[in-house]
Structure 1
Amino acid sequence: MAVRVALRGLTLGRCHVPVKHLVIVWILLLFISGWFFFMVDHRPAACRHEDMLQYVCHFYSKGIITGKMCPRLCQGKDFVFTKCLSKSLEHQVYEVEVKQSTTLWKERLLVHWTHDPKDGDYLRPMDGSSMEDLRHMLSAFLKLRLGDSYFVKFQTKIFDIADINNDGKVSLAEAKTLWGLLHGNNFLILMALSGSEMIPRLEGFCGDIYVTEGVQVYNLYGPNQMHSGVFRNIFDRDQLSWAQRAHIVLGVIEFVEEIIDNPLGNFLMCSVTPQSIGYTRKHDPKLLDLQGISPEVKVEGQLKERECQTDSDCIYGLNCQSPCSLESHKCQSEVTYPNLYKMCQLIEPVLFNGVPTEIEEKLKVTFDRCKGLRHSGRKMDMEHSLVINDIKGVIWRQISDTNS
């Protein structure tokens, strides 16, 4: 077909199309394309809280699962999802604000959903299971995840939480809810370490969705980030004083101390990063990503079965590493670096930014000792305790002197 350009329009064969009409058509096409682009949901799958709610609330509506948070999540509109903190489909985290009619300040909470499609749709325990069956299931599960420990008190605590209507029994819906929650490693660690101030307070749950207290800042290093290893004034925007940052550091150090001799066994900080630790308005640190905490028996069990050529083949998570045996070419079970070694590297930028000159040298010597820690039986345990006491002692004396 011949195309001839006229002075006042386009002539296509015998059809004459004015230029202004053609421009209008193009504008309409651009508008429709733009509208379609913005209407399509471009959020990653891990950030679609509507899908999460639709899935869980479907089972709640059928009476298969339960939870005190179900009416608020599934029927009410007082939860406003404001921020997505998710990294994967299997573990989704959202910040929500709770509408308050009496105060201007809105309560901030975190909604967690750790869902593994392999576990099925709340299939266990099955209909007809007794309380005794549930106790045996729970005991075997805890032994598998936490090793040989004394679980009686912990089991009672779990059953008390599962008994939503406080009737002294665990119904089938309550049992399915409990089983779904525990299969998410985050909730199990939350329960196991709930006595620590650094573990966020549980506010409630619905099926395998659970809600915890919120935080003010989602990164140990504050709103600003460190880039390329270059030290920056990372707390300037937050305007935290050194004493406030030292308060955060003390909380982290005390947490490291608490999980060494936990009644349920030792726990290792294998994938804890600055983004795993937030803090509240009162500058109390809170562990946000409990995936980074693993029972020692679980780490050792997986490492000792692994074949290796070098030590780099023996890494669990981000930074739990054990030596590779040159004789057997199997990873040894005991990790090389203790929790305190890793935490000293993490908190050093926080503590040494604006550190008072009168304690800087003493803290530097103590942190050098900390970064030299290695696992070596009882000798390491003693050195570990001494380093913790030295760091806490220097900080507390400085804070006390400043306050006085």
Structure 2
Amino acid sequence: LIFQHCLSSSPTQQVYSGLWRGREVIIKCSIEEALKADNHPDSVPRRDVVLFDKPTRGTSMDEFKEMLLNFLKSNLGDQPSLAALVSRIIAMADVNRDGKVSLAEAKSIWALLQLNEFLLLLSLHEKEHTSKLLGHCGDLYVTEKIPHTSLYGVAIPPFLQSLLPSVAHQIIHQWFAPAWPRRAKIAIGLLEFVEEIFHGTYGSFYICEASPGNVGYNDKYDFKMVNLRKVATEMTVRGFLKGRRCEQNADCTYGQDCTAPCDKLLKQCKGEVVQPNLAKVCGLLQDYLLYGAPLELKEDLQKQLRTCMTLSGLASQMEVHHSLVLNNLKTLLWKKISNTKYS
């Protein structure tokens, strides 16, 4: 494994580009939970936590499986599919493929599961909208490199973002963005990802920062979620909101934009996030899809995106309306690019 370039300026986020078995990869290790660290200065990095303290010597295989199941239940909720995920973790822990999990192997996989992004990579691997996990050692893990790490194909450097007016951002994005049919294909993948994390195999997840820099695509224009550190499980968000004191809605915000209403009378956060993933994603896709869209499609597309952006996260509205809006949008885009070279 060859380390090449450091991709992070934060001491709590060790991220490197590198080479492994002749392919470009991303190497990550001991990443602090970014949502907590970035947005809650009061949460001090947990230097006192010893990563490799569990399981302890003498733990049986059945006890370790029970440990894993309880851990997954507390992080993903009590899902019927968790037993299958435990089996997958056990198989992954057996690095030397001898059919047994040694104490060192068990400690290594346990340490990795404490990293939010690693847990999400395991939970959301099925539809290939996340980076492929290629290998791990201790609390270090390696994923495939996503060639395009911004929705628009180019990311404006952070030091320029604040200097350039929003109009300049828009022009740069439009200039470098893929052709419209390619954007439509990427957008369909992003909508499928939203579908996947809404009551998915391992529970529900929230995108807590929907921005072009957190989503990307590969050379075939298949959508890839670049930054899983901005995604949180429903259990994590609910745990954060439960009993939280507040004066206004902003006090009930997890990450950048997972906001719940503040009950002004009780001065406590309610448990439901106001804006669902789909509404956030449609806000992201509005400029992305309307620019250069085929004329015969533009009006209908604009109307559907506008409807989508007004969706509420309240449970009474979610189920049927959410699925209907999402499927209508996917169908509209797919009809336009199916049976062409872009599909």
Whether TM-score is above 0.5 comes out as yes
What corresponds to 1:397 in structure 2?
A: 335
Out of 279, 297, 319, the position equivalent to 2:217 is: 279
- Deviations, residues 3-58 of structure 1 (Å, cap 9, x unaligned): xxxxxxxxxxxxxxxxxxxxxxxxxxxxxxxxxxxxxxxxxxxxxxxxxxxxxxxx
Provide the C-alpha distance between the structure 2 equivalents of 1:152 and 1:86, rounded to a whole number of angstroms: 35
1:115-134 to 2 correspondences below 5 Å: 115=31, 117-134=47-64
- Deviations, residues 137-191 of structure 1 (Å, cap 9, x unaligned): 2122112211222321110111111111222221011011101110100000100
What corresponds to 1:202 in structure 2?
A: 133
C-alpha distance 233-308 of structure 1, shift in aligned 2 (>3 A): same
C-alpha distance 333-172 of structure 1, shift in aligned 2 (>3 A): same
1:40-189 to 2 correspondences below 5 Å: 73=1, 79-82=2-5, 84-86=6-8, 88-98=10-20, 100=22, 107-115=23-31, 117-150=47-80, 151-189=82-120
Moved over 6 A (4+): none
Paired letter, 1:193: L
Q: Which has the larger radius of gyration?
A: 1
Contact 1:217 1:223 in 2 (8 A): yes
Provide the C-alpha distance between the structure 1 equivalents of 2:21 and 2:202, rounded to a whole number of angstroms: 38
- Deviations, residues 178-235 of structure 1 (Å, cap 9, x unaligned): 0111010000010011112211111111111111111111111221537533221415
Provide the C-alpha distance between the structure 2 equivalents of 1:129 and 1:304, rounded to a whole number of angstroms: 33
What corresponds to 2:35 in structure 1?
A: none
Contact 1:114 1:186 in 2 (8 A): no
- Deviations, residues 301-353 of structure 1 (Å, cap 9, x unaligned): 21122101111111111111111112211000010111001111122222122
Provide the C-alpha distance between the structure 1 equivalents of 2:20 and 2:113, rounded to a whole number of angstroms: 26
Structure 1 residue matching 2:15: 3-state secondary structure = strand
Cα deviation, residue 119, structure 1 = 2.7
Where structure 1 has 5 or more consecutive residues not aligned to the other structure, the ranges are: 1-72, 74-78, 101-106
What corresponds to 1:6 in structure 2?
A: none
What corresponds to 1:367 in structure 2?
A: 305
**Count of residue pairs brought into register by the alignment:** 319
| Larger RCO (alpha carbons 8 Å, 6+ apart) | 2
What corresponds to 1:313 in structure 2?
A: 251
Provide the C-alpha distance between the structure 1 equivalents of 2:179 and 2:250, rounded to a whole number of angstroms: 40
C-alpha distance 372-237 of structure 1, shift in aligned 2 (>3 A): closer
Cα deviation, residue 80, structure 1 = 4.6
Provide the C-alpha distance between the structure 2 equivalents of 1:115 and 1:382, rounded to a whole number of angstroms: 37
What corresponds to 1:228 in structure 2?
A: 165
Provide the C-alpha distance between the structure 2 equivalents of 1:320 and 1:152, rounded to a whole number of angstroms: 29
Structure 2 residue matching 1:234: 3-state secondary structure = helix
Where structure 2 has 5 or more consecutive residues not aligned to the other structure, the ranges are: 33-46
Normalised TM-score (structure 1): 0.74
1:265-304 to 2 correspondences below 5 Å: 265-304=203-242
Contact 1:115 1:208 in 2 (8 A): no
- Structure 1 stretch 393-402 or stretch 114-123: which is displaced more? 114-123
1:212 aligns with 2:150: no
